[in-house]
Amino acid sequence: MPSPDDPLHALNQSLEDLITPEYWKSLCPNLTVSRSLPQTSTPLTEPPGNSIRDRVLRDGFTPLEGTTTPTTGVTPGTGLGAPIPWSINLAHLVTGIQTLAEHGWPAWYIAMYDETWLLGHEISDVVFRATGNLPSLDFLAWHVDPREGQTGFSPHRDRQPADPPSTFRADGTARYTTVWVALTDAVPQNSCLYVIPAPFDPFYIKGDDLSADANDPLSVLTPTARDYQHIRAVPLRAGAALLFTHRLVHWAGRGDSLHPTPRVSLAWVFTDPGYEPPCFGLENLPLPPVHLRAALACGQSVVYRKRFKTGEMAEPYAAKIRAEYQWAEWERKTEGAGGEAPAGTPTKQKPERAAGKGRKRSKAARRAAVETVVDEIISPHPVEGLETGLMGLMFGGDISDLSDLEV
């Protein structure tokens, strides 16, 4: 594994390097960074008579697999059938994510490369026909190695809106869906996904009890031993995918420490823009400029309690980043403390944090929150020039100017 002294290591990069295609090309020479759509990249199709839409309406999810006729076809399946016929070499993405990790970058910085965006581009027509949703550009990637005791997320729903029925259209289609792509085989031994299908979830549309003393959704859905039989594993071959809605309870299992292959995957979100607008303008697709790719990756770092985002992003996404940033700080301070939250901090009513609404903190409190995150999250990964540069991009100004922040 490269040492921090390697000139390509994240520790040795500046803000300018982050938005320079040559750096990323040098890091992963088998991947590309450009604005030119390859002629080999064509939208995938759903053959007539298939029922991706029906499966998602019924169960809240469906595995997606490839077909032999047409050669660009995608069909609902079991997850253990043929991979989707992507135009790109998925092995290059797997190697890229591993290389990023070796050089100090989180897995989701694979968004710097064209091949990641081509996956979203190629599946977008299939998703639109099945759900009516467009790319939201919300993205994440994982490298889960069971030999290191790693696992994915615990049981959750992707969204807990105040009015869950309003997040479905009159025809029953969900206004928020995710395509989760297995880049390596995803099996129980390396932390594949598990779900509770919608027919066994009375709160799927109705909504959960979000009061502070309420049990988590999985506990509510499994009150008896027999209810555990509703849990369904969703193993996927490399190249297959899982399409699911924001209300599906899902999680990643803990793998076998003797299993030799990490689970590498990525996910793209597709939404109704009236429910959750895209992170930035769709006119930038299919291959957005490098600085927007970097901004998206940095924004995800903040959402997932690591780091950052840019002023050129759409305001709803900027509000989400600001809200998540301060929510994470409040959780850090109150974790295990119990009792009521201090005055001026958000209550633990599990609001839909993407809205970025709530009571204002004092400027001093907001400044303290940012300084704490800089000290405890950014500084342990002291990429020269990124500490203030990315914070400035994220908030559209200097980190000392936080008068517009809300929680």
Check whether 279 has a pLDDT greater than 50.
yes
pTM of the model as a whole: 0.79
Nearest to 55 by CA among 136, 164, 129: 129
Q: What is the pLDDT of residues 171-192, one digit of tens each?
A: 999 999 999 999 999 999 999 9
**Residue at token pair 């100017």:** 401
Contact 102, 11 (CB under 8 A): no
**Residue at token pair 């927007």:** 292
- For residue 180, give the H/E element and its range: strand 176-182
Nearest to 239 by CA among 107, 98, 44: 44
Strand spans (E) along 198-245? 232-234, 241-245
**Mean confidence (pLDDT) of the chain:** 81
Domain segments of the chain: what residues?
10-288, 293-407
pLDDT of residue 355: 34
Q: What is the pLDDT of residues 14-51, one digit of tens each?
A: 777 888 999 999 999 999 999 999 988 989 999 887 79
Q: What is the pLDDT of residues 333-356, one digit of tens each?
A: 555 554 444 444 444 333 343 333
pLDDT of residue 297: 85
Distance CA(298)–CA(389), nearest Å, equals 11
Question: What 8-state DSSP symbol labels residue 10?
Answer: G
Q: 222-258: b or e for each residue (b if 16 or more CB lie within 10 Å)?
A: beeeeeeeebeebbbbbbbbbbbbbbbbbbbbebeee
Q: What is the pLDDT of residues 204-249, one digit of tens each?
A: 999 999 888 889 899 999 999 999 999 999 999 999 999 999 999 9
Query: What does each C-alpha distance from 297 to 6, 195, 378 come to in angstroms?
Result: 22, 27, 15
Position 320 confidence tier, pLDDT thresholds 50, 70, 90: low
Position 78 confidence tier, pLDDT thresholds 50, 70, 90: confident
Strand partners, 196: 249
Position 13 confidence tier, pLDDT thresholds 50, 70, 90: confident
Q: Range with the lowest mean pLDDT among 11-15, 141-145, 196-200, 219-223?
A: 11-15
Sheet with 263-271, side-by-side order of all strands: 74-76, 61-66, 241-245, 176-182, 263-271, 134-144
pLDDT cut 90: percent of the chain above it: 57
10-288 fold: Jelly Rolls (2.60.120)
pLDDT cut 70: percent of the chain above it: 74
Higher-confidence residue of 382 and 252: namely 252
